[in-house]
Amino acid sequence: MADTIFTVRSVTKAFGGLTALKAVTLEVGREEIFAVIGPNGAGKTTLFNVISGVYRPDEGEIYLAGRPLHGLTTHRIARLGVARTFQITRLFKQLTVLDNVVLGFGRGDIDPRGLVGGARRPAEVERAKELLAAVGLKDSAGLTAGTLAYGDQRRLELARAMAMDPTLLLLDEPCAGLTHHEALELAALIRRLKDSGVTVVLVEHNMYVAMGVADRVAVLDHGEKIAEGSPEAIQRDPVVIEAYLGRGEAGEDRA
Amino acid sequence: MVVQQIANGVVLGSLYALVALGLTLVYGVLRILHVAHAGVFVLGAYVGVLVYLPTGSLALAIVSAAVVCSLAGLIMYRFLYRPVLGRPPLVPLIISIGAFMFLEDLYRLVMGPYIKSLPVTIRAAGFETAAVRLTGYQLFIVAAAAGLLLGLWWLMRGTRLGLAWRASAQDLETAAAHGINTDVIIGVCFVIGSAIAAVAGVMVGGYYNQVYPSMGSVPAYKALAVIVLGGMGSVPGTVIAGLALGLAETLTMVWVGTFLPRDAIAFLVLILMLLVKPTGLLGRAS
């Protein structure tokens, strides 16, 4: 593993009596693709929401390139270099495809630069079109985002996230709802993004998608990390197999 | 007669649109019915009285009202609504109604229960033909409303702030995940909406030459009718609906006479709209 750029240290998050994350620790190397897998309800999306500031961790610390992220608001974390996509795509559906990407460039709120040069500057339009071309949406820039096919919406989410020039890209089940063919294409796209210098953490319910794209894999079950290692090692790990296939008779049959 | 009533309807409708815009902006980002907005409108009228009477300057009165009300709107957001964001919509609604009642009584206590006059005179010449007569003040109202709406349109369509604003109105959480400080966007909505309501307050006070504690009650429910009519959260819809209501009110005076109370028309139009197209003129089904 290359030098660590992203650290989650002993993060715990509970909702009432339900502990969604129990002292979860992750260390992700620079330009690594790191997958977090686990059965439904294992705490994967909660982990993303804690990292991106939607929830505050009850305990634990999160660092990106040495900077603490825990306790910051969502937009601050985004500006420090964390971009994300969502399990069910969350585009600005009534805006154009181009404007969705342009919003990733920042200068969006009280920034006085937002008041001059129009809603989108020529250089920004140029760059947005490059990003759209990179995800295969070159010809859709003028469409309303909500009219895109689902697979294209996923690509647009990726382009919008990349517009933020992130250090860390969080992908929440990037292949959910895609056909097998689309999923393969997206996996290839994710690997290309990695080569452009971004570190990727993705959560996946589908183990085989995760295995295909990730350099390393961690497994969550009931909010706890039960295993971590290379995809090959994880696939053979009896603890992981048990978590996925259930305990008791079914597991014994398989063994 | 009809032409004159159309002209009067446009003047009235411009004022309705200005008052309702604040509700639209707030509803657009927070999905909260900001009933206390009508209280801000009255505050604007009172600041207008306090500044205009000693100085005689309408411009100064309007600017002071806008500044004071922007601040009041921001304070309301910070201390009334922000603490209950994420609660069911009934919670901020009840808070808002309570705040509106509180404000009315506060004005009664501080400024007295009686009508204050706001005898605005304006140098601008009126406009008069055989069919229609508009005073300089009426022209000023329409021009000011048009100017404010153009400014707002530029802000929403011609700046990055406006783009971020429209994004936030669609999905606050996703906007924040893309580095947009949504707290600022919401604050801007309160500031702009309140400032516009303040301008409307001064103009209405001057139009009828009266300012009193409960002058916000009728605009409060008419503004609700206007934003439902326009399609909750749609700025152009609000403007069209405001004008439509103003015209409906003045034209029924011509055709139906005073048999039907003017203030009931807002609800008649509202009921018709809900029967025909519940999402409003420019609303989208969500």
Q: pLDDT tens, B63-91? A: 999 999 999 999 999 999 999 998 998 99
Contact B49, B249 (CB under 8 A): no
User: B257 CB contacts (<8 Å, ≥6 apart)?
Assistant: none
H/E segment holding residue A199: strand A199-204
- For A199-230, the pLDDT digits (tens) are 999 998 777 778 888 999 999 999 999 999 99
Select the residue of B171, B182, B184 nearest A90 (Cβ to Cβ): B171
Furthest CA-CA distance within chain A: 67
Based on the structure, what is the number of domains in chain B?
A: 1
Whether pLDDT at A109 is above 80:
no
A1-81+166-255 in CATH: which number? 3.40.50.300
Contact B207, B18 (CB under 8 A): no
In this complex, do B164 and A114 lie within 8 Å of one another by their Cβ atoms?
Answer: yes
Assess if residue B154 is contained within a domain: yes
Residues of chain B with C-beta less than 8 angstroms from the C-beta of A93: 170
Whole-Å CA distances, A193 to A165, B134, B181: 11, 64, 27
- Give the least confident one: A14-23, A107-116, B208-217, B259-268: A107-116
- For A35-71, the pLDDT digits (tens) are 999 888 889 999 999 999 999 999 999 999 999 999 9
Interface check A113 vs B, CB under 8 A: yes
Q: Which amino acid appears at position B131 of this protein?
A: A
Predicted ipTM of the assembly = 0.86
Whether pLDDT at B262 is above 90:
no
In a 3-state reduction of DSSP, which class is residue B188? Answer: helix
Residue B148 and residue B66: Cα distance in Å, rounded?
A: 12
In this complex, do B161 and A83 lie within 8 Å of one another by their Cβ atoms?
Answer: no
Rounded mean pLDDT of B130-152?
92
Assess if residue B137 is contained within a domain: yes
Interface check A122 vs B, CB under 8 A: no
- For A135-157, the pLDDT digits (tens) are 999 999 999 999 999 989 999 99
- B263: pLDDT confidence band, cut at 50, 70 and 90? confident
Interface test with B, best of A69, A73, A92 (most B CBs within 10 A): A92
User: A12 CB contacts (<8 Å, ≥6 apart)?
Assistant: A19, A21, A22, A23, A24, A57, A58, A59, A60
Assess if residue B233 is contained within a domain: no
Range(s) within chain A of domains with CATH label 3.40.50.300: 1-81+166-255
> What is the strand order of the sheet A33-37 is part of?
A82-84, A168-172, A199-204, A33-37, A216-221, A224-229
Mean pLDDT across chain B? 91
Q: How far is B285 from chain A (nearest CA, A)?
A: 12
Percent of chain B with pLDDT over 70: 98
**Helix locations, chain B, DSSP H:** 2-30, 37-55, 58-76, 90-111, 136-158, 160-170, 172-177, 182-208, 217-230, 235-255, 265-276
Q: What is the pLDDT of residue B125?
A: 80
In this complex, do B179 and A108 lie within 8 Å of one another by their Cβ atoms?
Answer: yes
In this complex, do A93 and B170 lie within 8 Å of one another by their Cβ atoms?
Answer: yes
Whether pLDDT at A181 is above 90:
no
Interface check A246 vs B, CB under 8 A: no
Q: Containing domain of residue B91, as a range?
A: 11-224
Q: How far is A105 from chain B (nearest CA, A)?
A: 9
**pTM for this entry:** 0.88
Interface test with B, best of A91, A109, A110 (most B CBs within 10 A): A109
Select the residue of A104, A109, A118 nearest B181 (Cβ to Cβ): A109
Q: What is the pLDDT of residue A254?
A: 37
Residue B117 and residue B119: Cα distance in Å, rounded?
A: 6
Q: How far is B191 from chain A (nearest CA, A)?
A: 13
Q: What is the pLDDT of residue A110?
A: 60
Percent of chain A with pLDDT over 90: 60
Q: What is the pLDDT of residue A247?
A: 55
Of B122, B134, B128, which is closest to residue B5 (Cα–Cα)? B134
Residue B133 and residue B215: Cα distance in Å, rounded?
A: 27
Q: How far is A150 from chain B (nearest CA, A)?
A: 18
Of B208, B214, B213, B218, which is closest to residue B267 (Cα–Cα)? B218
Q: What is the pLDDT of residue A250?
A: 41
In this complex, do A73 and B166 lie within 8 Å of one another by their Cβ atoms?
Answer: no
Sign (positive/negative) of CA torsion B178, B180, B183, B185? negative
- A255: pLDDT confidence band, cut at 50, 70 and 90? very low
Q: How far is B23 from chain A (nearest CA, A)?
A: 20
Contact A84, A50 (CB under 8 A): no
A23 or A38: which leads in pLDDT: A23
Assess if residue B110 is contained within a domain: yes
Contact B11, B164 (CB under 8 A): no
Q: How far is A83 from chain B (nearest CA, A)?
A: 7
- A2: pLDDT confidence band, cut at 50, 70 and 90? low
Interface test with A, best of B153, B160, B168, B282 (most A CBs within 10 A): B160
Q: What is the pLDDT of residue A3?
A: 86
Residue B196 and residue A58: Cα distance in Å, rounded?
A: 42
Assess if residue B149 is contained within a domain: yes
Q: Which residue in chain A has the smallest CA separation from B160?
A: A119
Whether pLDDT at B277 is above 60:
yes
Contact A239, A228 (CB under 8 A): no
Q: Which residue has the tokens 């229960």?
A: B113
Interface check A165 vs B, CB under 8 A: no
- B234: pLDDT confidence band, cut at 50, 70 and 90? confident
In a 3-state reduction of DSSP, which class is residue A83? Answer: strand
- B272: pLDDT confidence band, cut at 50, 70 and 90? confident
User: B145 CB contacts (<8 Å, ≥6 apart)?
Assistant: B14, B15, B17, B18
